[in-house]
Structure 1
């Protein structure tokens, strides 16, 4: 399942890394074209960088991807081998989704008085993987925070 919401505060996402889930869960990492340009790809999410690329009224878009409950339960109860297989498949799926999302990131080009001309852009995507819900139920899911400010490609 996929949920799309407007992200309003940077703190919600940076606090997710420390407060809401199990302490052993992955910290957020930067991904996306802009992360590659800034040499941040694969590095831990930092509040200061998120704030720099956040918009004034909204931080960006949160695409939350949830694995089916049966997969989450198999991940929680499975052997280490099963968990690794699920994690690998899930990681490939999320990485593929990020690449697909990047194909649809555009911005308006206002430099040539062309208010309606859209050009390809690159975004900073912050990925937060979690293995449980906030109530600590098995729920493999990821938050993909797409920055509101983008880099024109």
Structure 2
């Protein structure tokens, strides 16, 4: 998705659940909670006083790329257990899985360079990433997810800050989703949760079934209804058709009453018979594999170019 401008208010409205990450961020002295003003400066290409990088894109629409929004979403059952059941350990597991995946994405960072008048590409291995954890969907369903906003800048080996060549990261989005899922699965089983895997490589917590999940999936229902109007479903729709349905059915995200939402979620969980008791012992399970084509990561991560 392309933006005419950065939707920084959407990201920074909950700064207490934000954090800087990346070797590039460390070089700029960025750590801990994300500062709104600094975030806006970096989106504008202002690395530090007196240093501003060009972010000109060769795309046909001539818009500047200001960054990438890598969004990592926990399985619906994990969101329910964490946010409705109150198991904060799952929120921590999600954050650790995101951090591990962002660290992997950092190894894909590159920048352009000219040597002897010839254009080339060099690996940089550093990113400046601002992470923002959100806990609700636009339909006010429980949805634990993190926006990892990758700034369009990286530091080359010669010490120069340049625009990020993000091709490798964009191409690896499905793989990064699979990486996140694998990292999360390991942590969930260590906490004692049993997982139910599906054929496409996705998983849910075993004690919450599909019918119970649907009670908390107004967003999914809206997308499926939009696809049905076109005579297709999630299995037969192309990626472009699913993305279009997602964008066309997306309501504006509004301020929420956390206490009221939590009580509504608790009531729904009780109505559909979800048992939210925490496990008391680790569950032994194999670490899920990460398929080479990244299929097991779909729906776990997405990337939007910010312009």
What is the CA–CA distance in structure 1 between the aligned matches of 2:107 and 2:79, rounded to whole Å? 29
Superposed CA offset, 1:5-52 (max 9, x none): 556533x1344322xxxx6x7443321111100111223232223322
Q: Of residues 87, 90, 93 in structure 2, which corresponds to 1:89?
A: 93
Residue equivalent to 2:18:
28
What is the CA–CA distance in structure 1 between the aligned matches of 2:3 and 2:32, rounded to whole Å? 21
Residue equivalent to 1:147:
151
Residue equivalent to 1:9:
5
Number of matched pairs: 140
Superposed CA offset, 1:103-135 (max 9, x none): 100111225434123232422111111111133
Superposed CA offset, 1:34-89 (max 9, x none): 1100111223232223322583512111111110001111112113xx2x210121
Distance change >3 Å, CA 111–CA 149, structure 1 → 2: farther
Q: Is the 8 A contact 2:71 2:148 kept in 1?
A: yes
Q: Is the 8 A contact 2:108 2:123 kept in 1?
A: no
The structure with more radius of gyration: 2
Q: Is the 8 A contact 1:7 1:59 kept in 2?
A: no
Q: Which has the higher contact order (CA 8 A, sep 6+)?
A: 1
Residue equivalent to 2:41:
48
Residue equivalent to 1:102:
106
Q: Is the 8 A contact 1:64 1:141 kept in 2?
A: yes
Aligned structure 1 segments of 4 or more residues deviating by more than 4 angstroms? 5-8
- Work out whether 1:129 is the aligned partner of 2:133: yes
Q: CA RMSD in A?
A: 2.3
Residue equivalent to 2:236:
none
Distance change >3 Å, CA 147–CA 112, structure 1 → 2: farther
Q: Is the 8 A contact 1:30 1:43 kept in 2?
A: yes
Structure 2: gaps (5+ residues): 48-52, 57-63, 158-307
Q: Is the 8 A contact 2:17 2:33 kept in 1?
A: no
Question: How high is the TM-score relative to the length of structure 2?
Answer: 0.41
- Point out the more displaced range, 70-79 or 25-34: 25-34
